[in-house]
Structure 1
Amino acid sequence: MQTLRNAFRCSWSSPERLDGKTVVITGANTGIGKETAIDLAKRGAKVIMACRDMEKAEAAVKEVIEKSGSENVLCKKLDLSDIKSIREFAETINKEEPKVNILINNAGVMMCPYGKTADGFELQIGVNHMGHFLLTHLLIDLIKRSAPARIISVSSMAHSWSSINLEDINSEKSYDKRKAYAQSKLANILFTRSLAKRLEGTSVTTYSLHPGVIQTDLYRHLNGPQQFLMKIISPFTKSSVQGAQTTIYCAVEPSLVKESGGYYSDCAPANCSADGKNDELAEKLWELSCRMLSITWE
């Protein structure tokens, strides 16, 4: 019903400017990340595109500059499947940037064959959750100093397909790529909820979102029948531009300044699964993430 209601809602747009603001977007060299970069650069923000593949990133920077008309766009190397790379990226940002007003945790992998990150995490939970959890932790002091500021995590309606297996978060006992993807997207929502509580009173707000079913190269790991299904429903899917709108909404919509920790879809508040509202589960995931990443984050 939520999706149906949202389909008939007037499309959202805002003249909001971001002059003098700095934005970091992970996975910004393709898809909705790139479209988000174009939009926020048009609004006057300095945009830092954090990407794994620097060759693709440099080509994307040129496109973002061309389409936005802003020269204030650059890329930096960030591999979210490698703690060393995340720490190096954060160190560079903390050293070179006086502020980060908006952090968009956008990068992700989807339903890939079983694999592990450089540090031994199952790939989907490692990149989609652990990598962004650590990155946010390493930038949080700079973000707080830049307040008012926002932290946005791109989740998915797929979060409702599974829960979080705290006993086997790396899917070592059994691996179902669909459930592992769902677990990682649920983790984004729970992280956002926990983070909002910890940031109360700091003027830093947090949001998670479902971008929509999008025409994206993330589907390359789907099997034959799944790819066939995606072809059938493709007329009803969103383009990358349309898919970026809820991210942009969470980044700039003035009325959200008083909101934090919520989940959004189609540029409006949306319902997440019961697990997505489970504060006890969120807290357990937070503690497990800190333990696995060997960090202390109160």
Structure 2
Amino acid sequence: MKDHGHCIVTGGTTGIGLAVARRLAEAGAAVTIVGHDRERGAAAKAAIDRAVGEERAEFLLADLSDQDQVRRLAATLMERHPRIAVLINNAGGLFGHRRVSAQGLEMTFALNHLSYFLLSLLLLPALRAAAPARIVNVASGAHRGVQLDFDDLQAERNYRPITAYRRSKLANLLFTRALARRLNPAEISVNALHPGFVATDLGTRNAFLPAFLWKLATRFAISPERGADTPVYLATAPEAAGFHGEYFYRCRPSEPSPAARDDQAAARLWQESLRLTGLSEAELNL
């Protein structure tokens, strides 16, 4: 990994993302962590560098719900790191009240799905340059039991925080499925995963639950370190290179919900995501 490009971890300043980034650095990789909080980012970079005993991490500031910032981030990454071996899409949120992004899109959908979509596609040239490269999408078992409402993707009529989150995680799996159909796995493989129910600050960060209730809810949750096991496996394990378009749990392939295997829904979400981000397959060479 050390001589084969660069690793990017979004949402890499806390929780699962920080644990993943540190372990990649410990394995010899140079790592960029992306987050929206400058102080957390500086602290995370320092912690990773201390853990490995040398400067191996960098932090880039970006609010990934804002497509303009995603585009600037991608341009910076491509300039600094023309060969990207691993992209781990991990940034996400759970919002207690309906909010909209800088582009006027519902925040959960914008951050949890469209940031994965836009950043992955913009970085394809650098990923191809590092072939065989890997894209790892952190999804969730919370995708089970919901379907996308294409008539109300922005939850304008009926916003429920947990439903918006679960649908965004379903979107992660449908995106993985659609992207896998368009990529040559010999160049870039893409897989998704459920990290487990992890004790992070996800539930308190954006007014979803009071801290004491989230603490009760997560009393049986696993640690971020254990939550990092499957993304690290998909990013680094030699045998994981043979998987493409799969869903993993506990470092093993798992079958997602029927809704996550719906090719028509995946194709429709793909087209909607192209429209909402202003991308075209022609310019992306897909």
Report the TM-score when normalising by structure 2: 0.93
Q: Describe the shift of the 1:229–1:121 C-alpha distance in structure 2 as closer, same or farther (beyond 3 A).
A: closer
> 1:28-70: per-residue Cα shift (whole Å, max 9, x none)?
0000100001100001101001111122101110001111334
- Alignment partner of 1:161: what SS? coil
- Alignment partner of 2:123: what SS? helix
8 Å Cα contact 1:219/1:227 also seen in 2: no
Aligned to 2:216: 231
Q: Does 1:177 align with 2:126?
A: no
- Identity score, percent: 34
Q: Match of 1:68, as an amino acid?
A: V
Aligned to 1:254: 238
Distance 1:79 1:229 in 2: 24
Q: Describe the shift of the 1:258–1:179 C-alpha distance in structure 2 as closer, same or farther (beyond 3 A).
A: same
The residue correspondences of 1:1-298 to structure 2 (distance < 5 A) are: 18-200=2-184, 202-220=186-204, 221-223=207-209, 228=213, 231=216, 234=219, 236-297=220-281, 298=286
Q: Offset of 1:223 from its aligned partner?
A: 3.9
Q: Describe the shift of the 1:247–1:201 C-alpha distance in structure 2 as closer, same or farther (beyond 3 A).
A: closer
Distance 1:73 1:237 in 2: 28
- Alignment partner of 2:20: what SS? helix
Q: Offset of 1:249 from its aligned partner?
A: 0.7
> 1:182-235: per-residue Cα shift (whole Å, max 9, x none)?
1100011111111111002542100101111111100114446x964862661x
Gaps in structure 1 of 5+ consecutive residues: 1-16
Q: Offset of 1:116 from its aligned partner?
A: 0.4
Q: Match of 2:216, as an amino acid?
A: K
Q: Match of 1:28, as an amino acid?
A: G
- Alignment partner of 2:60: what SS? strand
Gaps in structure 2 of 5+ consecutive residues: none
Q: Describe the shift of the 1:260–1:122 C-alpha distance in structure 2 as closer, same or farther (beyond 3 A).
A: same
Distance 1:266 1:112 in 2: 29
Report the TM-score when normalising by structure 1: 0.90
- Alignment partner of 2:43: what SS? helix
Q: Describe the shift of the 1:180–1:145 C-alpha distance in structure 2 as closer, same or farther (beyond 3 A).
A: same
8 Å Cα contact 2:97/2:208 also seen in 1: no
Report how many residues are paired: 280
Q: Describe the shift of the 1:229–1:33 C-alpha distance in structure 2 as closer, same or farther (beyond 3 A).
A: closer
Q: Offset of 1:91 from its aligned partner?
A: 0.8
Distance 1:233 1:241 in 2: 15
Distance 1:31 1:229 in 2: 15
Q: Offset of 1:257 from its aligned partner?
A: 1.3
Q: Offset of 1:270 from its aligned partner?
A: 1.2
Distance 2:279 2:159 in 1: 27
8 Å Cα contact 1:18/1:45 also seen in 2: yes
Q: Match of 1:231, as an amino acid?
A: L
Q: Describe the shift of the 1:210–1:125 C-alpha distance in structure 2 as closer, same or farther (beyond 3 A).
A: same
8 Å Cα contact 2:70/2:115 also seen in 1: yes
Q: Match of 1:117, as an amino acid?
A: S
Q: Offset of 1:284 from its aligned partner?
A: 0.5
8 Å Cα contact 2:13/2:33 also seen in 1: yes
Q: Match of 1:213, as an amino acid?
A: F
- Alignment partner of 1:57: what SS? helix
